[in-house]
Amino acid sequence: MLQAFTLFHVAISLAAIVAGFVVVYGLLNNRTLTGWTSFFLATTTLTSVTGFLFPFHGVTPAIILGVISIVTLAIAYWARRQWLASQRLRKTYLSTMVIALYFNVFVLVVQSFEKVPSLKALAPTQKEPPFQVAQAIVLVLFITLGVLSVRRFHGDGSAKALSRAA
């Protein structure tokens, strides 16, 4: 049963990551992709929620990240709704969308170094330079995507399109 649940959790996580990159591509091109955005938010929320259903003992870094992710997603949902009425929360909306995707990719890197034998051999404790370099590259990539999204996406005329999806 746990194996099937794990497979489900991984599948929705990967779907969320793919959808998130599609959404960010749209943001970078000043395009509102309402269907993809709704799918990304739903699957990312489901990923975070299902993460809490695994057996755990005590507070772990994964639990802390899950809580931060849920808070980030709540802000993203709220900013998206508010942004429909005015452009005031555009930067909040864009930032939280990119941060939510970053959290998913951050966990993907952690899990890859934990589960893929060749990566585990490079960084068995995840304190070694290969792991740190990989996470630094991911962080720089997402900071760049966040800054570019805020600069390029203005959502001109997209509030009506977003309101249909909200």
DSSP letter string, 16-33: HHHHHHHHHHHHHTT---
DSSP 87: G
Q: What pLDDT, on the 0 to 100 scale, is given for residue 14?
A: 97
Lowest mean pLDDT among 28-42, 57-71, 84-98, 121-135: 84-98
Rounded mean pLDDT of the chain? 90
H or E stretch at 140: helix 129-152
- Spatial distance between the Cα atoms of 158 and 83, rounded to a whole number of angstroms: 10
Per the CB < 8 A criterion, the answer to whether 63 and 52 are in contact is: yes
Sign of CA dihedral 152, 158, 164, 166: positive
Whole-structure pTM value: 0.89
Q: Which comes out higher in pLDDT, residue 153 or 18?
A: 18
Both tokens assigned to 53? 């259903």
- Judged against a pLDDT cut of 60, whether residue 159 lies above it is answered with no
Both tokens assigned to 111? 């899990």
- Spatial distance between the Cα atoms of 103 and 100, rounded to a whole number of angstroms: 5
Q: How confident is the model at residue 87 (pLDDT cuts 50, 70, 90)?
A: confident
Q: Which of 99, 109, 107, 106 is nearest to 41 (CA)?
A: 99
Q: What pLDDT, on the 0 to 100 scale, is given for residue 84?
A: 63
